[in-house]
Structure 1
Amino acid sequence: MTATSTSGVAAGAGTAPRTREAARARGRRVAAYLWYVSGRLAGAVVSLLAVLVTSFFLFRIIPGDPVRTMTHGRQVSAEQLAALRRQFGLDLPLWQQFTDYCGKALTGDFGTSYQFHAPVGELIAEKVPATLLLTGVAVVVYSVFGLWLGTRAAWRHGGLGDRLTTGVALTLWSVPSFWLGLLLIMTFSVGAGPLPGLFPTGGMESGDATGFAHAVDVAHHMVLPVLTLVAVGYAQTLLVMRSSLLDEMGGDYLTTARAKGLRDDLVRRRHAVPNALLPTVTMVFINLGHVAAGSILVETVFSWPGLGGLFYQALSVPDLPLVQGLFVVFAGAMILMNLLADLLYPLLDPRVGR
């Protein structure tokens, strides 16, 4: 056997163990990730079961009798009140009401609304598009805006731009959304001084437009509520991103990257920002959970026909099946978004889940 063939055999013999070791390492990483995913899924299921229990008992401590509220202002006999309580199952023992509720809720049946006399699922499905449109647009706008401004503020921290943007963000973050909405209505809907009213005071549409004109009308109605949500939401995103990036800026890996001759913007985009994204990713996904929940205060102030306004109506009765169904939807959306954020973490930082 020649020297060349001998070295080739030796190289092949050395390559095979390395290949097997690499395959075993990949297998361990996959197993660790699957174990991580199974743990997060189990936690999400437990959280959802806790939400079902909480939604049942929480709203039963609200003062008021739903049957008497529904019949307020009308002459109703005691027999009629008793019949209504039997109809809605309010005469059953609490434990039986709870077991019936959990059994139906697990199949997607949240019962019939007391005040609307319609299935809760249908009422929620009817309001979902309006909420997704309003809060979806707002979340996308203020997430992008907040990430961009937060990155620039942290990278040039201490400068005039950083002080200005941080001061504005802190002010807006401390402002109640309903108060800001009312202020925008008074200024841009009612009009202030020489400034005329430019936007509708509430609602989603005027009701007399079709086609492209209808789309423009809806967009016109969206301006003030979206502006309210963006003004409050972008501030939170900016401050979290700025804080996370400031924590990363003292890292040795950034000094090493600069020593290799990388431009400052490349160091920021390729190294600093990806490592600072984990806390911000959590917050962005939580905000995406708010897309399903909507904003109760903002939707109520602007009379927006979404899930937030529906929740306010249900809570005022209280309409127990509708309140419980909406609470489960809101909390379920948050649990789902948190789960997706947890599953995304290992892709952003391979150390997570090991």
Structure 2
Amino acid sequence: MASESTTARDQDAVPDGPAEAGPSARGPRSRSTSGYLRYVAGKLAGAAVSLFAVLVTSFFLFRLIPGDPVKAMTGGRQVSSEQIRAMREEFGLDLPMWQQFTDYCGKALTGDLGTSYQFKAPVVDKISEALPATLLLTGTAFVLYTLIGIWLGSRSAWRHGRFGDRFNTAFALTLYSVPSFWLGLLLIIVLSVGIGPIPGMFPTGGMESGGESGFGYVIDVAHHLILPVITLVAVEYARTLLVMRSSLLDEMGSDYLTTARAKGLRDDEVRTKHAVPNALLPTVTLLFVNLGNTVAGAILVETVFSWPGLGGLFYQALSVPDLPLVQGLFFVFAAAVILMNTLADLIYPLLDPRVGR
């Protein structure tokens, strides 16, 4: 009887037809997707909070700058008190601080960052005009220092302890510790003005000489681009090199590399096809962070080389002070860093599934 009962239960447990793909069949993938979506939602929420904090900081921070924007706009000319009062009313400087803040936040949420005091134009328009020059400079530098850093970092790690590794690491650390404005000034003195037997070969500043068109204009801009790009690359490539070197050193003792060598692969193939792709994960994260930092960190380089980008515009606005323009640019610089960090956080789980689980 017990055997018959057991057999009956076993028959009842066997489904009559093909098993349906219920929640248990889709469980791991569903949990993985939902976990990643929660991870993305958390990162986006954190980025939104950070952007709002930057918005608040940008408003109050630059109110601490000494100087009266209205007096700066008059250029020291004799103006009546009625004219000064009218200008304060025009730019909303006569309102209480709390009302200025609420107006600023309300407009910023709609994409209105105010009107520049000195240019009498919307801040968004001034930023849009200067943004292409900054993207050209920082984008070119980013591509170059990324390629140089990854290439030198992988070669240094693969031959760690040798003279080339020690030289590359020491040279990169030396350049990374040099202030960018000092290096830019040194390059201007040596390669633009000329010193001793070295003639001046490059323009001292600006983005173009004027009077060129077509292909000649492209050559002219590229000629002006060389020194500021060299300055940014020299300062920034060290981080990529050091992170790539450290990541590859961690991979060099892995079993899969020993297996690849046992299969008869050449040393260069083991490095480029197996070791470097796995060591790139931390470097990819760093590259996104570097991209945001490069946009924000080009202020000094653009100022030294009179490059007509966001950095030069920020310096002009800070000297007045042009509060709406300074606030808008500060927000753009900080937003670039926050957005690139967030993008790195969102992409990293796609490269390494262990993250965000």
What is the TM-score of this pair, normalised by structure 1? Answer: 0.90
Alignment-mate amino acid for residue 169 of structure 1: A
Q: How big is the shift at 1:95?
A: 0.7
Stretch deviating more after TM superposition (66-75 or 244-253): 244-253
- Matches for 1:33-182 after TM superposition, within 5 Å: 33-182=36-185
Q: How big is the shift at 1:290?
A: 3.9
- Matches for 1:226-305 after TM superposition, within 5 Å: 226-255=229-258, 258=261, 263-290=266-293, 292-293=295-296, 295-305=298-308
Count of residues paired in the alignment? 343
**Structure 1 residues without counterparts, runs of 5 or longer:** 1-11
Alignment-mate amino acid for residue 77 of structure 1: S
Contact 1:67 1:84 in 2 (8 A): yes
Mapped partners of 1:256, 1:14: distance in 2: 46
The alpha-carbon distance between structure 1 residues 264 and 350, as it changes in their structure 2 partners (threshold 3 A), is farther
SS at match of 1:92: coil
Alignment-mate amino acid for residue 337 of structure 2: M
Stretch deviating more after TM superposition (262-271 or 228-237): 262-271
Q: How big is the shift at 1:274?
A: 3.4
Given the alignment of the two structures, is residue 342 of structure 1 paired with residue 356 of structure 2, yes or no?
no
Mapped partners of 2:254, 2:356: distance in 1: 22
Q: How big is the shift at 1:62?
A: 1.3
Q: How big is the shift at 1:21?
A: 5.6
Mapped partners of 2:161, 2:16: distance in 1: 59
Mapped partners of 1:241, 1:110: distance in 2: 39
The alpha-carbon distance between structure 1 residues 300 and 260, as it changes in their structure 2 partners (threshold 3 A), is same
Q: How big is the shift at 1:334?
A: 1.4
For 1:201, the equivalent position in structure 2 comes to 204
Alignment-mate amino acid for residue 189 of structure 1: S
Q: How big is the shift at 1:25?
A: 1.7
The alpha-carbon distance between structure 1 residues 36 and 81, as it changes in their structure 2 partners (threshold 3 A), is same
How big is each residue's C-alpha offset from its partner over 1:104-138, in whole Å with a ceiling of 9 and x where there is no partner? 00111011101111110110000011111111101
Q: How big is the shift at 1:332?
A: 1.2
Q: Alpha carbon RMSD of aligned pairs, Å?
A: 2.3
Runs of 4+ in 1 over 6 A off after TM superposition: 12-15, 17-20
What is the TM-score of this pair, normalised by structure 2? Answer: 0.90
Identity of aligned residues (%): 74
Stretch deviating more after TM superposition (155-164 or 249-258): 249-258
Q: How big is the shift at 1:233?
A: 1.1
Stretch deviating more after TM superposition (234-243 or 289-298): 289-298
**Structure 2 residues without counterparts, runs of 5 or longer:** 1-14
Contact 1:132 1:294 in 2 (8 A): no
Mapped partners of 1:270, 1:38: distance in 2: 35
SS at match of 1:158: coil
SS at match of 1:126: helix
SS at match of 2:199: coil
Alignment-mate amino acid for residue 72 of structure 2: T
Contact 2:285 2:348 in 1 (8 A): no
Q: How big is the shift at 1:291?
A: 5.3
Stretch deviating more after TM superposition (292-301 or 203-212): 292-301
